[in-house]
Amino acid sequence: MKKLNVAIFGTGFMGRVHTEAVRRLGNVEVVGIAGSSHQKARRFAEEFVSSMPRTITENYWFSPTLTLCTSALPMRCILRWCKIP
């Protein structure tokens, strides 16, 4: 089975839950972490991901190596970014 490269949005409790869930799948590698700051993303990666992924920048979303993303963000953040009242 092809290995999936996953980026995780969110470094809070649900980010930890999503990270553990994808780890248990076996054919998934966390290759990126996005947090509210570069420092939070780096700390999260150091603590919860065995191989050090990169922290996400805007240009990374165009990377052909990224297979999928999982959002562990609060709904209020998603609605704000999508400009939904």
What is the pTM (predicted TM-score) of this model? 0.70
Write the pLDDT tens digit of every residue in 2-59: 888 888 888 889 889 988 888 888 888 888 888 878 888 888 888 877 665 555 655 5
Whether 33 and 8 have beta carbons less than 8 Å apart is answered as yes
CA 13 – CA 29 distance, rounded (Å)? 19
Q: Which range marks the domain in which residue 70 is found?
A: 4-81
pLDDT score of 23: 84
> Does residue 76 have a pLDDT over 70?
no
CATH number at residue 50: 3.40.50.720
For the chain, what is the domain count? 1
Pairing of strands 54-55, 4-9: unpaired
| Listed residue (38, 58, 56, 45) closest to 15, CA to CA | 45
pLDDT score of 32: 82
> Does residue 65 have a pLDDT over 80?
no
